[in-house]
Structure 1
Amino acid sequence: MPVKSTFSTPQTIIGLPSQAFLLSLCKILAVAGLVLSSVSFFIINNPTCSQGSTIVTPLRKIFVPPPREYSVDPPPPTELHHLVFGLVGSAKAWPRRRHYIESWWIENLTRGYMFLDNPPTKELLPWPSTSPPFRVSEDNSETILQYTKQNNTMVRIARSLLEVFRQGDEGVRWFVMGDDDSIFFLENWIDVLRNYDHNKYVYIGGHSESVLPNFIHSFEMGFGGAGVAFSYPLAAAIVPRLDECIKRYPQLYAADQMWQSCCADIGVYLSAQKGIHQIDLHGDISGLLSAHPPAPLLSLHHPETVDPYFPTMNRRESVNHLMKASRVDQSRLLQQTVCYNRQNGWSFSVSWGYSVHIYESIYPKSILQKPLETFKPWVIKNIVPPFFIFNTRWPVRDPCLAPHVFYFESISEGADDLIVTTYSRHRPRGLPACLGSGNHSAEYVSNIRVFSSSSKLKGENRRECCDILRLDESNLVDIKYRQCLKDEVIG
């Protein structure tokens, strides 16, 4: 018969739990840990629990690692290589219109294409490197025209957006569409497009100067001849559905109205931009160009429907002459600045790089900013006013109201980092002096020099003031630009 030992185990001596008990306790703690972790994760990541909870903050400190620091550099600013131009013209008109494009196109730097209706004839070949490379537009007879009665040329222009997109250029932020008879000012386009987010849907354009074309087509439409810009994402959204969109609106005649309708279908509306000039006008537009608003000059369309910009030159010479000033400082080109000579009672209106007007009376800027109506509306017959989308002044022969007109002659670099533009009298005014301001005639003035900073205008506040530096019995007047003082009243 076995004898029971009288010695106790260590657990019974010191009162420790048994191995079975310890194993059960470990299981319980493990399950509790899993439950607590799950509850904590739910509370931390559930927005309805995290608001106003006193539990969340300490739990986040325990269970959520600190956020990683990311260094994301902003995208570089828009440059010329981010733009691709889609220009539309005809092989027949190209010989007389190419110089308009070549006046602003920069060889090997500007990107884009010239879409022609037919292949260039042998007289046009070899194609010059000073012009955009040409492409022949696709035949629309099977894709569009057999389903609608739309104009072939307008459909071709509308589909040029699709065709320029399919060229597959890399790094494109903006597609700028326009006609072959438009003059673009590239530096100003870059400055303006930098104000928009190219990663979003953006549709930029300008209105017609005449009321009737806006009424007929749409006040929400960018007139495409003068230039319409589409951000890359917007173009990418329009292109796959462009043909169907064109067929959806068979009643539309104009290509730019087709674009506007397609943009509206996806909820995108026009960002109207001053400085895009459709020039739906006829005759002498010097009154308009001499009172440009404080906005960058972006384009001038229809040079063949108006008189030459400078009255002593033909159209081609006028364009090249204006581009002399634009190559030095596009930021100020045409923008109006006003200053006064109180002693003589004269007002000076300067359109930088284009003209200077002297009035023998004190005119407030609120009056001078209205263009002289030297031009006619796009449609002349059987229309009633208002003709234009802006206010105008009637040209008169009153010696106190009629200006002495001086046109841009030359440009050079002066001392102290200044640019000097010179303006010469066009012709004698042929009127007596204004008696109301003291009988001080400006007829003796033959030349005006304007001194402006070599620093370009930047930002939205483009207002500048000027002072008369020299005004004596000689035939020369000197004007110097300067920054306007805070809250300075011009006039």
Structure 2
Amino acid sequence: MDSVKFALKLKLRLKELLKVLVKRRKWLGNTVSVGLGLLMVLVMVLAFIRSHRNHCRGAAIEGEAEPSSFPWNPLDYPHKNESLSTGELNSKASLSLGNIIFVIQGSSKEWSRRKEFVKLWFRPGVMRGFVWMEENVPVESDDDQFLPPILVSDDSYALGIRLSMILLNTFRLRPPGAQWFVLCEDDTIFSTKNLMSVLAKYDSTDLVYIGGNSESHHENHGHAHAMAFSGAGIAISYGLAEALSIMLEACLERYPQVRRNDNRLHACITELGVPITREQGFHQFDIRGDAFGLLSAHPLTPFVSMHHVDQLQPVFPNHNSLDSLRTFMSAMETEPASFLQQAISYNHTEKLSFSISLGYVVQVFPSIMFPRELQDPQITFRAWDWGDHPGEFSMNSRIYPQSPCNRPFLFYLKENFFDKEKDKILNIYERYLMVDEHKAEHNCRFHSFSPKEVQKIHVMHKPFEQRWHLIPRRLCCNMRGKKDGVLTISLDKCKRGQRIYS
């Protein structure tokens, strides 16, 4: 309808101009005058068209809220889409999911299984992005409802440049309102709300390169300590993507010896003089086996991502891998900000130490352990190359107790919900009896914490403040006591002079 109005308006304007030329007969006296007149008409027409186009483009950008998918033909490159320069972005505007473009590197051989992981966190209609495959994959009828659009990357891409090229090709689509491009893999899951909280700290018009390292010294040393690993997710600001678009293809050719995708991208980013901005919530998870030790002692920062989810044991016992992750994601959605944040408490009378991983697990250690110890992950996992020596890992860690008697009692999350009237979140954790059975087999003392005494632990706390992670501090605990087999623990912001260990 708008195009019809535009054509009619242009036709009327041309008629008016021609009438003016006819009336001024002196213009028709020679060919020079005719040429000047036609040139004048052409200039005015082009000016009118350009004005109309700019007006339409501006309206499209302003009106872009949260489209269900990219509305452009990926084969139509910049000649049909004007570039959105960094000058046009409002760096102080609030960040929404629609401003983040997910660039997912997929594996066609693994897609039938791994697409279930993408379904856990991606929301078509709210989020935008592509899955880039190296070849065509079968598409089921309901995939559009749960997955991003699938594109096939050029199969001529040499080893080591595929990630860079799918970033470049996604940028060339000029997605309206894009502020960030987040590169990841199809076996990565995200907390998208926490991702927004982290990215909102930065100005997307600047050249910003955000991500995390590997948990394995071997992997970091073999690639680059200053590199963001793509499995954990790499956040590229619009400003950096625009700068890369000018030089990336030529730069990639200078590093044929660099075989890894994210490492070669990192090499080109260093040519722009941009260092990595490390955010601890991006988890490469170059580990195998049981991730319990890492998840139960998460650093004091928002949980953003987790890679290699198909290589890990189920994070909740008595579940298969996928169902366990569904429970994990469901717990996170109640309140993403507090998810996996660790609180530490004590019962000095009974000589018990409590480590609470919100939304996941409560550990009750049968001895007094200082916060400095409890905040370090227990090594319940092995490195990607199967090493398990503490020196193999790029974080402080501690050996998991060899004796069952020294291991903690475990209470896994059963359910959690938000109480609007009290403005509090209640987490209900249920005792994992297999641990108790194992302790009983080894004649361990239960002190006063036997299964008859406590079957459940209730943990209550207020929702976290929106910007808590800018100046983080652990919550302080108040042990409410035991009643009818339930131990209640209340968490709150530490008061002036209050300590965790007291």
TM-score by length of 1: 0.78
* CA distance in 1 between partners of 2:229 and 2:125 (Å): 28
Match of residue 489 from structure 2: 479
- Call closer, same or farther: CA 1:432–1:130 in 2, change over 3 Å: closer
Q: How does 1:216-231 map to 2 (within 5 A)?
A: 216-231=222-237
Q: Residues 190-243 of structure 1: CA distance to partner in whole angstroms, max 9, x if unpaired?
A: 111111121111000101011100001011000011100111011111123222
Match of residue 10 from structure 1: none
Q: Which amino acid aligns with 1:128?
A: D
Match of residue 460 from structure 2: 451
Match of residue 58 from structure 1: none
- Call closer, same or farther: CA 1:266–1:428 in 2, change over 3 Å: closer
Q: Which runs of 5+ in 1 are unaligned?
A: 1-72, 146-150
Kept after mapping to 1: 8 A contact 2:476/2:500 = no
Give the number of aligned pairs.
407
Q: Which amino acid aligns with 1:135?
A: L
- Call closer, same or farther: CA 1:488–1:469 in 2, change over 3 Å: closer
Are positions 1:357 and 2:363 aligned together? yes
Kept after mapping to 2: 8 A contact 1:410/1:423 = yes
Q: If each structure's helix is expressed as a fraction of its own residues, which one has the higher value?
A: 2
Match of residue 342 from structure 1: 348
Match of residue 169 from structure 1: 175
Match of residue 396 from structure 1: 401
* CA distance in 2 between partners of 1:243 and 1:184 (Å): 29
Match of residue 121 from structure 2: 104
Q: Which amino acid aligns with 2:153?
A: S
1:400 Cα deviation (Å)? 6.6
1:454 Cα deviation (Å)? 3.1
Kept after mapping to 2: 8 A contact 1:288/1:372 = yes
Match of residue 39 from structure 2: none
1:103 Cα deviation (Å)? 1.0
Match of residue 441 from structure 1: 449
* CA distance in 2 between partners of 1:250 and 1:413 (Å): 53
Choose 1 or 2 for highest CA Rg.
1
Kept after mapping to 2: 8 A contact 1:281/1:376 = yes
Kept after mapping to 2: 8 A contact 1:295/1:462 = yes
Q: Residues 359-401 of structure 1: CA distance to partner in whole angstroms, max 9, x if unpaired?
A: 12221110000111100011126x9761101121212244674
1:244 to 227, 232, 250: 250
Are positions 1:92 and 2:100 aligned together? no
* CA distance in 1 between partners of 2:91 and 2:249 (Å): 36
- Call closer, same or farther: CA 1:473–1:119 in 2, change over 3 Å: same
- Call closer, same or farther: CA 1:171–1:225 in 2, change over 3 Å: same
1:76 Cα deviation (Å)? 1.8
Match of residue 379 from structure 1: 385
- Call closer, same or farther: CA 1:487–1:271 in 2, change over 3 Å: farther
1:468 Cα deviation (Å)? 4.1
Q: Percent of aligned pairs with the same residue?
A: 32
Match of residue 265 from structure 2: 259
Match of residue 9 from structure 2: none
User: Is the deviation greater in 419-428 or in 225-234?
Assistant: 419-428
Match of residue 439 from structure 2: 431
Match of residue 333 from structure 2: 327
Kept after mapping to 2: 8 A contact 1:332/1:456 = no
- Call closer, same or farther: CA 1:129–1:235 in 2, change over 3 Å: same
Match of residue 68 from structure 2: none
* CA distance in 2 between partners of 1:237 and 1:74 (Å): 17
Kept after mapping to 2: 8 A contact 1:360/1:434 = no
Are positions 1:182 and 2:191 aligned together? no
- Call closer, same or farther: CA 1:280–1:231 in 2, change over 3 Å: same
* CA distance in 1 between partners of 2:91 and 2:389 (Å): 52
Q: Residues 457-478 of structure 1: CA distance to partner in whole angstroms, max 9, x if unpaired?
A: 5232232324344333642111
* CA distance in 1 between partners of 2:441 and 2:346 (Å): 17
Are positions 1:463 and 2:463 aligned together? no
1:271 to 253, 277, 289: 277
1:139 Cα deviation (Å)? 3.3
Q: How does 1:114-129 map to 2 (within 5 A)?
A: 114-121=131-138, 124-125=140-141, 127-129=143-145
1:172 Cα deviation (Å)? 1.0
SS for the counterpart of 1:428 is helix
Q: How does 1:132-211 map to 2 (within 5 A)?
A: 132-140=148-156, 145=158, 151=159, 154-211=160-217
* CA distance in 2 between partners of 1:468 and 1:433 (Å): 33
Match of residue 97 from structure 2: 80
Kept after mapping to 1: 8 A contact 2:477/2:500 = no
* CA distance in 2 between partners of 1:281 and 1:398 (Å): 24
- Call closer, same or farther: CA 1:155–1:438 in 2, change over 3 Å: closer
1:102 Cα deviation (Å)? 1.1
1:300 Cα deviation (Å)? 0.5
1:174 Cα deviation (Å)? 0.7
- Call closer, same or farther: CA 1:129–1:439 in 2, change over 3 Å: closer
2:239 to 230, 233, 249: 233
User: Is the deviation greater in 242-251 or in 286-295?
Assistant: 242-251
SS for the counterpart of 2:240 is helix
Match of residue 500 from structure 2: 490
- Call closer, same or farther: CA 1:487–1:164 in 2, change over 3 Å: farther
Kept after mapping to 1: 8 A contact 2:343/2:477 = no
* CA distance in 1 between partners of 2:464 and 2:256 (Å): 50
SS for the counterpart of 2:475 is strand
- Call closer, same or farther: CA 1:291–1:198 in 2, change over 3 Å: same
Kept after mapping to 2: 8 A contact 1:449/1:476 = yes
* CA distance in 1 between partners of 2:445 and 2:345 (Å): 16
Q: Which amino acid aligns with 1:308?
A: P
1:456 Cα deviation (Å)? 4.0
Match of residue 70 from structure 2: none
Alpha-carbon RMSD: 2.4
* CA distance in 2 between partners of 1:367 and 1:266 (Å): 41
* CA distance in 1 between partners of 2:409 and 2:97 (Å): 39
* CA distance in 2 between partners of 1:74 and 1:236 (Å): 15
User: Is the deviation greater in 357-366 or in 204-213?
Assistant: 357-366
Kept after mapping to 1: 8 A contact 2:354/2:364 = yes
